[in-house]
Structure 1
Amino acid sequence: MKHHPVLPKERILDTALRLFHEQGYNTTGINQIISEAGVAKASLYLHFKSKEDLGVEYLKARQQIWFDQLLSFTDESKKEKKKIFAAFDFLIQINEKENFRGCSFLNMLSEIQSDESQLLSIIQEYKQQLRTFFADVMENPKDDLSDTVYLLFEGAMQESQLFKSQWPVERAKKIVSDLYKLKYFK
């Protein structure tokens, strides 16, 4: 079996994925990324014009990873209610795996400047994709209930990060269950 070396661009992005997620966007410097990726400064700037460009690629990669995991986790469930509950169970699993690190996108949103519109655009795109996920799962929700579920999910994600606890996710899941019992969903 032939070993393929990891290209500098991949090492840079892999390092940024780890460091931005663990430390935050603003507290991670370009020099640390260069050092830990084992690349020359010129190599970084050959592939990424700026830290913001690297941040955009980080968000796109994180979006792909997160949604692949979410879809994989929820695909077993065929029924709407079970698929929604599986999404909340996925959030519980991510909290445990990542030690309540929270949403990478909202974490970055809290760090960026108003002129970093590329980053804001990617964050909005990701959140719209998540909103669409719930709308697609709920084929015929009454009164935009898919947005209610989306907002419960988002709130649970943020509050579980704040309290370092699963109770917000469990409570949001219970609210969704109660909505089903009240026949708000089909």
Structure 2
Amino acid sequence: MSRPRERILSTSMLLFHRQGYNRTGINQIIEDAKVSKASFYQHFKSKDDLCIEFLNKRYDYWVSELEKFISEEKNLEEKILKSFDFLIYMNEKEDFRGCSFLNLLSEIPADQVEIHNVLRYHKNKLREFFNEEIEDEHTASHIYLLFESSILTSQLYRSNELIETSKTAIKNILNSSH
């Protein structure tokens, strides 16, 4: 059996992603992770601290999966389109659960500044990905917004249709910016 900290983290990764932050209580995490309350608080001062760790781990996982998914692509258009195919892949893998960060954003009050800072930091890293790949700042922003909205709309409609529509729009955007 893994160490208590790892069990708490892996349990929270599953529960926060599946149930959301507010619907997941510390007692459920403690019970499912098979740790004592004292052990939980030895590793995490609060549920918010655990949430921050969850966000960091989820980001690392998601980015490494994205990088593996697009690593074969050489040119810009193929790489960008493949990143949208990654969204389709993740929807199928995770049953249209959507973005853990945006899901959490809808649950966390604005006064939980530390969590909001982590959410913004990771979303900015995603924006930087598009900015590094695409020279034109407006084009990069446009594609980033299509990417984020594709995540949301595919979750809402439980369909990849609008991701495919976004890919067509991206081809037009990239062709017109050359």
Question: What interval of TM-score do these two structures reach, taking the shorter chain for normalisation?
Answer: over 0.9
The answer for the alignment partner of 1:75 in structure 2 is: 71
* Contact map agreement 2:131 2:141 (CA 8 A) in 1: yes
The answer for the alignment partner of 2:138 in structure 1 is: 144
Structure 2, unmatched stretches of 5+, are none
Given candidates 126, 150, 156, the residue that maps to 1:162 is 156
The answer for the alignment partner of 1:19 in structure 2 is: 15
Cα-to-partner distance string for 1:15-51 (whole Å, 9 max, x where unaligned): 0000000000000000000000000000000010000
Query: Distance in 2 between the 1:128 and 1:160 partners?
Result: 21
Given candidates 15, 34, 40, the residue that maps to 2:36 is 40
Structure 1, unmatched stretches of 5+, are none
TM-score, normalised on structure 2? 0.97
1:103-114 mapped onto 2 (5 Å cutoff): 103-114=99-110
Q: Give 1:181 deviation, angstroms.
A: 3.1
Cα-to-partner distance string for 1:90-113 (whole Å, 9 max, x where unaligned): 001001111110000000000011
Q: Which 4+ runs in 1 deviate beyond 2 A?
A: none
The answer to whether structure 1 residue 178 and structure 2 residue 172 are counterparts is yes
Query: Distance in 1 between the 2:49 and 2:162 partners?
Result: 34
Q: What's the C-alpha RMSD, in Å, of the aligned pairs?
A: 0.9
Query: Distance in 1 between the 2:74 and 2:118 partners?
Result: 30
Amino acid paired to 2:78? K
Given candidates 52, 63, 86, the residue that maps to 2:48 is 52
Amino acid paired to 2:91? N
Q: Give 1:168 deviation, angstroms.
A: 1.2
Q: Give 1:180 deviation, angstroms.
A: 2.6
* Contact map agreement 2:4 2:39 (CA 8 A) in 1: yes
Cα-to-partner distance string for 1:110-169 (whole Å, 9 max, x where unaligned): 00112211111111011101101111112x22x521011000000111011000000111
